[in-house]
Amino acid sequence: MSMFEELMLAKNISFNEGKIELLKQQVVMLPAEFMSDYTSEINNDPNKIKEIYQAGKEAIKNNFGPGIGKHYSFNFSDFFRWYISLAKLSGWGIVKWAEFDKNSYSGVITIEDSLVGTNLKNKVTSPCDHIIRGLMAGSATSAFLIDVDMIETECIALGSEKCKFLMGKYDYLKSKFPDIVTNCID
């Protein structure tokens, strides 16, 4: 049974006139081109990149994440598996854990067929998956119950086979990738 079918059966997703709710929180569906066009507009402005990243992270960390945690009472692994399934269901691409270290709150997540990266292939000059990067950072923060960040080090839009995201505590990422953190998080 797919995650969508499970949500429908458990009545955790509802479609009412003018409103879609997932676990009693309103969500929307948008055309892929909107996400790509918006990202293309902000991709050369570090301040806007940081704003959209933080907005995505905070939306999950402060609103959606706590609701999921209360509803399901997940352990860490279940929590993160659920978020990865949700990202796939939502059309962001094929999201996979590549590496993971629960003790250091770090890991590598890859996305094949990234929604934004694929649509912006050869149209940008730097990694561009800022929205999903923020959403994943909020998801990881909710799962770990400690603040973590996410940076993108490889991107389909720049010719990579898949997008690669490194997750970790801010200080760790800043020490290893100071330029990326300065441009995308600080």
Taking the model in full, what pTM does it have?
0.87
pLDDT tens digits, 68-105: 766 667 777 777 777 777 787 788 899 998 888 888 88
Q: Where do we find the tokens 């890991």?
A: 107
Q: Identify whether residues 23 and 44 lie together within a single domain.
A: no
Q: Identify whether residues 66 and 15 lie together within a single domain.
A: no
Q: How many domains does the chain have?
A: 2
19-22, strands of its sheet edge to edge: 13-16, 19-22, 25-27
pLDDT tens digits, 142-175: 888 899 999 999 999 999 999 999 999 999 999 9
Q: Identify whether residues 41 and 18 lie together within a single domain.
A: no
Q: Identify whether residues 56 and 138 lie together within a single domain.
A: yes
Which of these, 93, 132, 92, 97, lies nearest to 112 by C-alpha position?
Answer: 93
* Cα distances (angstroms) measured from residue 143 to each of 118, 154, 172, 177: 28, 24, 18, 24
pLDDT of residue 20: 83
- State the DSSP string of 85-138: HHHHHTTS-EEEEEEEETTTTEEEEEEET-HHHHHTTTT-SS---HHHHHHHHH
Q: Identify whether residues 59 and 150 lie together within a single domain.
A: yes
Q: Identify whether residues 47 and 20 lie together within a single domain.
A: no
Residues of the chain with pLDDT > 90: what percent?
47
Domain extent for 84: 33-184
